């Protein structure tokens, strides 16, 4: 699958800083020490509806990770998937009487447009579940042949006991896991499973549903977690730097994915850090496609909202916080954008040297985007109140905001 076009990332004066970020598995901050090519996998959308602000907030967090790394002169190998076959997609297609593949294609195209408008840097590889199937099948066969997976009425399940590190990503106890498993696509109550938490790796073809050649597994389609594992192992290998997604992916998705990969390779860990963004709510409830309480990026754009203001709305919240989308959030961002644009429109101003370092330090400190915005606010206020004589300072500010925050002034 093709991704979307990259906006240019200007180089900044001085040196970038290494990222300290919160890792769900250890429950604390870790200082990442990637090689010359930092490796990140971010879970992509299930394309049965348009990109909402919750999605955008999560991708914004991982775009910042990429920008901090680029500022340290590293390259970034970023991989993202599209879950273009899964139950929710089939259910929506059936509800609306449309072809599931057409629906996935249409919503993925819109996602690309939204990501481009928001200046999110694209992944190097953007891979659909369907195109990953030929790589998924042999992994499931290997797990089965190694005794880490078993068959139940034609479906194949992963045995969570096969990974001695199972449970270490989310740190949850069995009761909490069981509840979340039922809520988030698992089937803990299905009779015949060895452990209620065991997730499906391969689902045998169901009447009237799309299916693919599964070699010795028989025709069917892949489970959700193995999809991301196959894509990540194929393109990044074990021990990549960051596995990312919203906090609702910590369990079961990232927990199971780590266990699949660790059982397959005998190596540990799958990812060096598991990073999770908070949930964006609307009217007091998590924005979710299944609840339908959504604000779409594309709708805001249609209403004439500048994508840079949408991006500033996201950046005004710490990525780990759960927060509520309101009109006031957007109004504040629109005002801020206007203030910043006015401040950088002059050829000279107060020195921007400290500002570059403040923004760098804020982001290196667990992606503290609100602190970065506050630093730019201070510079803009100085410019407005008393101006300055530093030739070119506004240009430095423009490039800092562009390179590190993805906002074009
Ligand atoms: N395709 C899978 C991942 S492999 C999936 O979870 N797709 S999704 O479309 O449901 O979500 C895409 C990303 O947006 C995930 O990282 C998810 O955690 C995040 N996300 C979904 N809803 C919200 C929300 N309300 N706030 C913040 N992030 C959200
Ligand atoms: Zn995923």
Query: Residue 291 above 90 pLDDT?
Result: no
**43 C-alpha vs ligand 1 centroid, how far in Å?**
8
CA distance 392 to 333: 25
CA distance 231 to 227: 6
What per-residue string of b and e applies to 14-36 under the rule 16 or more CB within 10 Å gives b?
eebbebbbbbbbeeeebebebee
Read off the tokens for 328.
């006031």
Q: Assign 312 a pLDDT band (cuts: 50, 70, 90).
A: very high
What pLDDT, in 10s, does the model give residues 136-154? 999 999 999 999 999 999 9
Average pLDDT over residues 221-230: 98
Average pLDDT over residues 125-132: 98
Query: Residue 270 above 90 pLDDT?
Result: yes
Average pLDDT over residues 246-267: 98
**194 C-alpha vs ligand 2 centroid, how far in Å?**
24
What pLDDT, in 10s, does the model give residues 150-189? 999 999 999 999 999 999 999 999 999 999 999 999 999 9
What pTM, to 2 d.p., does this model score? 0.98
In this prediction, residue 338 carries a pLDDT of 98
In this prediction, residue 383 carries a pLDDT of 98
CA distance 295 to 166: 36
Average pLDDT over residues 21-28: 98
Q: Assign 289 a pLDDT band (cuts: 50, 70, 90).
A: confident
User: Which of 24, 41, 45, 92 most suits a substitution to test ligand 1, by most atoms within 8 Å of the C-beta?
Assistant: 45
Exposed, middle or buried by CB within 10 Å (0-12, 13-18, 19+), for 11?
exposed
What pLDDT, in 10s, does the model give residues 37-94? 999 999 999 999 999 999 999 999 999 999 999 999 999 999 999 999 999 999 999 9
**234 C-alpha vs ligand 1 centroid, how far in Å?**
22
Query: Residue 252 above 90 pLDDT?
Result: yes
**89 C-alpha vs ligand 1 centroid, how far in Å?**
14
Query: Residue 344 above 80 pLDDT?
Result: yes
Query: Residue 318 above 90 pLDDT?
Result: yes
Atom 17, ligand 1: residue with shortest CA distance: 246
Instruction: Report the SS3 class of residue 39.
Output: strand
Please give the torsion angle defined by the CA atoms of residues 94, 100, 106 and 109, in that order, rounded to the nearest 10 degrees.
130
DSSP bridge partners of 126: 80
Upstream peptide bond of 317 is cis (omega within 30 degrees of 0): no
Q: Assign 290 a pLDDT band (cuts: 50, 70, 90).
A: confident
CA distance 61 to 274: 13
Among candidate residues 176, 321, 190, 187, the one with its CA nearest the CA of residue 251: 176
Atom 18, ligand 1: residue with shortest CA distance: 246
CB 83 within 8 A of CB 47: yes
Average of per-residue pLDDT values in the chain = 97
Nearest-atom index, ligand 1, CA of 249 = 18
CA distance 143 to 84: 23
Give the CA angle between residues 192, 206, 84 to the nearest 5°: 105
User: Which of 54, 247, 282 most suits a substitution to test ligand 1, by most atoms within 8 Å of the C-beta?
Assistant: 54
Q: Which residues line ligand 1 (CB under 6 A)?
A: 43-46, 54-55, 57-58, 81, 83, 228, 245-246, 248-249, 277, 279-280, 286-288
Q: How many residues does the chain have?
A: 409
């Amino acid at each position: 699958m093709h991704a979307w076009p990259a906006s240019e990332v200007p180089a900044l004066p001085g040196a970038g800083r290494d990222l300290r970020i919160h890792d769900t598995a250890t429950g604390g901050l870790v200082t990442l020490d990637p090689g010359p090519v930092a490796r990140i996998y971010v879970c992509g959308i299930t394309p049965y509806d348009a990109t909402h602000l919750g999605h955008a907030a999560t991708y914004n967090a991982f775009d910042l990770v990429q920008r901090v790394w680029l500022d340290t002169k590293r390259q970034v190998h970023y991989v993202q998937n599209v879950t273009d076959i899964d139950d929710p997609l089939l259910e929506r297609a059936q509800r609306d009487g449309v072809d599931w593949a057409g629906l996935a294609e249409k919503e993925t195209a819109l996602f690309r447009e939204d990501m481009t408008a928001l200046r999110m840097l694209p992944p190097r590889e953007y891979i659909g579940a369907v195109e990953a199937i030929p790589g998924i099948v042999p992994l499931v066969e290997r797990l089965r042949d190694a005794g880490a997976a078993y068959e139940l009425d034609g479906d194949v399940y992963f045995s969570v006991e096969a990974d001695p590190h199972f449970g270490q990503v989310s740190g949850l106890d069995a009761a909490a896991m069981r509840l979340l498993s039922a809520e988030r696509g698992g089937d803990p109550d299905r009779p015949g499973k060895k452990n209620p938490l065991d997730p499906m790796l391969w689902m045998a073809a169901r009447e009237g549903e799309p299916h693919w050649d599964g070699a010795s597994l028989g025709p069917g389609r892949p489970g959700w977690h193995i999809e991301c594992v196959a894509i990540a192992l194929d393109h990044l290998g074990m021990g990549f730097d960051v596995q990312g997604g919203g906090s609702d992916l910590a369990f079961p998705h990232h927990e199971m994915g780590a266990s699949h990969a660790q059982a397959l390779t005998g190596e540990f860990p799958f990812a060096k850090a598991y990073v999770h963004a908070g949930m964006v709510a609307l009217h007091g409830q998590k924005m979710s496609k299944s609840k339908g309480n959504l604000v779409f990026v594309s709708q805001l754009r249609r209403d004439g909202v500048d994508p840079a203001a949408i991006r500033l709305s996201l950046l005004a919240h710490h990525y780990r916080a759960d927060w509520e989308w309101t009109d006031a959030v957007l109004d504040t961002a629109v005002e801020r954008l206007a203030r910043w644009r006015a401040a950088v429109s002059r050829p000279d101003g107060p020195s921007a040297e400290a500002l570059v370092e403040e923004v760098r330090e804020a982001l290196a400190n667990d992606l503290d985007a609100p602190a970065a915005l506050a630093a730019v606010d201070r510079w803009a206020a100085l410019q407005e109140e008393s101006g300055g004589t530093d030739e070119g300072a506004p240009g430095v500010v423009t490039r800092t905001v562009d390179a590190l925050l993805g906002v074009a002034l």
